[in-house]
A and B are shown apart, each in its own frame.
Chain A
Amino acid sequence: MTTRLRGKAAIVGVGTAGLGEAPGFNAMDIQALAVHEALEDSGLKLSDVDGLFTANMSHTFPAISTIEYLGLKPRWIDGTNTGGSSFVAHALSATMALEAGLCDVALICYGATLRSDAGRMTPAAEQPTYEIPHRPRYPMTAYAMAAATHMARFGTTRAQLAEVAVAARAWARMNPEAFERDPLSIEDVLSSRMVMEPLSLRDCCLLTDGAGAVVMTRADRARDLPNKPVYFLGGGIASYNRAVSEMPDLTTTAARDSGERAFAMAGLKPEDMNVLQLYDAFTINVILFLEDLGFCPKGEGGAFVSGGRIAPGGPLPVNTNGGGLSFCHPGMYGVFTLIEATRQLRGTAGERQIADAETALCHGNGITLSHQATAIFGTAAAL
């Protein structure tokens, strides 16, 4: 009875801080600002938070460091770290903990200052022993290999990959908080510097600073708070491998299972979704996830995204904030999928608002296509 969690909790507050560049601040500083913002938004206080869900790559014990910095005394902590998918998975765990009465107010948060610190990804302490001697560059190598395999098997083209980056940029141009807002064409993507065949610079996400926070509470309490509740309808996770060399098939991700689990819990289908937030660390991700989550058949993702179908004005809005490709990507992007879904379902997304959005799908991806988490949210109309 996995549907037991459907509609039992809701997002009631969201906040961001330090998006883009935050020189002179550390990850915990900007995370605290995002948390303050999310709590102000929710109408709750820091002292109300009794459940903490967090992960990062800068701290060995992120949850404990966060409670100390914020002065929390949580009854329940979940520090499960699955990479960038962590926070989408946390939305499922938070709903579970809230429904079980382990906590009443759940805080999901993340902060990182990669851009200001070193301007590159902090490598995870543990790396695949038998891959490292061959000098891969992670995370890029894994996604480049997935793209190369997809192109060889299905005839996907670099121009189709570029459609994903161009759509993301078109959305970012309508988001005043997006880091990259200059016009971007297919030709610009194709002619940008080759970084890791077949991925060029514009096929790769940004590397920014940034923090995000989400406050969740049980549905009954959510209705008494100032914002329109954004109800959790379903969630699922799936993982088969850490290293890309251990991935059973580079053209099919575990999102196939996480998505199926989330849709089953929500009692909804892909065609019921009004807006998608898909973890776009690289352009190939969006194509893989559209296929694996059931929005188009396997192998047809390239054709599916062509002609602006996921761009503003297209029939399937994807990554309406500009995504990791153009909005913000501080190493682990997943929390921003929850924040943008919330803004769309509240109807407060400004120029980029999708008319009458009642349902949203968030998809998080962790490490090198190693962990997948899907969560589906809806307004009261979708309950």
Chain B
Amino acid sequence: MTAQLPASGPDLEFQTHVEDGRLWLQTCEACDRAIFMPRIICPHCGSLRLAWHPASGLGTVYSRTVLYGRPKPGDTRPTRHALVLVDLDDGPRMMSRLPDTDPDDIVIGMRVKARIEGETGAHVVVFDPAGEANA
């Protein structure tokens, strides 16, 4: 017995789906859990029945950190680069960043919403503050 390959691989499928600007996630049709990073097998139950669905993209910042780069010549302050882990309402957690938000305004527990950034074939998921009342 040899396994049959699907029509295309998970990384390529991810890039194709998010072309429409929305976050898409795989959901396991056997155990009903959404997963990220994209995979060919469900890490929760081992099923190969993973289907792509658009996700709400809403989530909560689970952790955050800020990298301080050494100041470049002429700069008075170090460059800062904030990274977050986001727990999506849809289930999985992902590493990302909030490109348009000041690092000091990013706090653990804040509500965020995903958007897709980057070139065709190299899309990435980034976040903006969701601005919900229950933030």
Binding site for B on A (CB under 8 A): 128-131, 133-137, 140-141, 144-146, 148-149, 152, 193-198, 243-246, 250
Closest CB in chain B relative to A20 CB, distance in Å: 24
The residue in chain B whose Cβ has the minimal distance to the Cβ of A251 is B63
Q: Quick one: which of A133, A136, A193, A250 contacts B62, CB cutoff 8 A?
A: A250
Q: Which residues of B contact A243 (CB under 8 A)?
A: 37, 95
Q: B29 in the interface, Cβ–Cβ < 8 Å?
A: no
Q: Which residues of A contact B85 (CB under 8 A)?
A: 145, 244-245, 250
How long is the Cα–Cα vector from A137 to B36 in the complex, in angstroms? 21
Q: Quick one: which of A131, A145, A244, A245 contacts B64, CB cutoff 8 A?
A: A145
How long is the Cα–Cα vector from A375 to B66 in the complex, in angstroms? 35
How long is the Cα–Cα vector from A196 to B63 in the complex, in angstroms? 13
Q: Which residues of B contact A141 (CB under 8 A)?
A: 65, 67, 83
Q: B49 in the interface, Cβ–Cβ < 8 Å?
A: no
Q: B130 in the interface, Cβ–Cβ < 8 Å?
A: no
CB pair B83 A134 closer than 8 Å: yes
CB pair A130 B36 closer than 8 Å: yes
How long is the Cα–Cα vector from A129 to B124 in the complex, in angstroms? 11
Q: B81 in the interface, Cβ–Cβ < 8 Å?
A: yes
Q: Which residues of A contact B118 (CB under 8 A)?
A: 133
CB pair A131 B95 closer than 8 Å: yes
The residue in chain B whose Cβ has the minimal distance to the Cβ of A245 is B95
Q: Quick one: which of A128, A134, A246, A250 contacts B63, CB cutoff 8 A?
A: A250
CB pair B96 A148 closer than 8 Å: no
How long is the Cα–Cα vector from A137 to B65 in the complex, in angstroms? 11
**Can you list 5 A-B pairs, Cβ within 8 angstroms, ordered by A?**
A128-B95, A136-B95, A149-B108, A243-B95, A245-B94
The residue in chain A whose Cβ has the minimal distance to the Cβ of B103 is A197
Q: B115 in the interface, Cβ–Cβ < 8 Å?
A: no
CB pair B66 A197 closer than 8 Å: yes
Q: B111 in the interface, Cβ–Cβ < 8 Å?
A: no
CB pair B83 A136 closer than 8 Å: yes
- Within 65-101 of B, Cβ neighbours of A (below 8 Å) are at 65-68, 78, 81, 83, 85, 93-97
Q: Across chains A and B, which 8 residue pairs bring their CB atoms closest together, nearest first?
A: A144-B65, A145-B63, A245-B95, A197-B66, A131-B95, A133-B124, A130-B37, A152-B108
Q: Which residues of A contact B36 (CB under 8 A)?
A: 130
The residue in chain B whose Cβ has the minimal distance to the Cβ of A140 is B67
CB pair A134 B65 closer than 8 Å: no
Q: B32 in the interface, Cβ–Cβ < 8 Å?
A: no
CB pair B67 A148 closer than 8 Å: no
CB pair A129 B11 closer than 8 Å: yes
Contact status of A134 and B67, CB under 8 A, knowing A129-B11, A148-B108, A244-B85: no
CB pair A244 B95 closer than 8 Å: yes
Closest CB in chain A relative to B127 CB, distance in Å: 10
Contact status of A134 and B62, CB under 8 A, knowing A129-B11, A149-B108: no
The residue in chain A whose Cβ has the minimal distance to the Cβ of B117 is A133
Closest CB in chain B relative to A249 CB, distance in Å: 10
The residue in chain A whose Cβ has the minimal distance to the Cβ of B118 is A133
Q: Which residues of B contact A193 (CB under 8 A)?
A: 68
The residue in chain A whose Cβ has the minimal distance to the Cβ of B93 is A245
* Most chain A beta-carbon neighbours within 10 Å: one of B36, B63, B78, B97: B63
CB pair B63 A148 closer than 8 Å: yes
How long is the Cα–Cα vector from A130 to B124 in the complex, in angstroms? 8
How long is the Cα–Cα vector from A195 to B11 in the complex, in angstroms? 33
Closest CB in chain B relative to A269 CB, distance in Å: 32
Contact status of A196 and B108, CB under 8 A, knowing A134-B97, A136-B83, A245-B93: no
- Within 96-134 of B, Cβ neighbours of A (below 8 Å) are at 96-97, 108-109, 118, 122, 124, 126
* Most chain A beta-carbon neighbours within 10 Å: one of B11, B36, B66: B66
Q: Which residues of B contact A128 (CB under 8 A)?
A: 37, 95
The residue in chain B whose Cβ has the minimal distance to the Cβ of A149 is B63
Q: Quick one: which of A130, A133, A148, A245 contacts B65, CB cutoff 8 A?
A: A148
Closest CB in chain A relative to B52 CB, distance in Å: 15
The residue in chain A whose Cβ has the minimal distance to the Cβ of B94 is A245
CB pair B64 A148 closer than 8 Å: yes
Residue-wise, chain B 2-41 has the 8 Å CB interface mask toward A (1 for contact) of: 0000000001000000000000000000000000111000
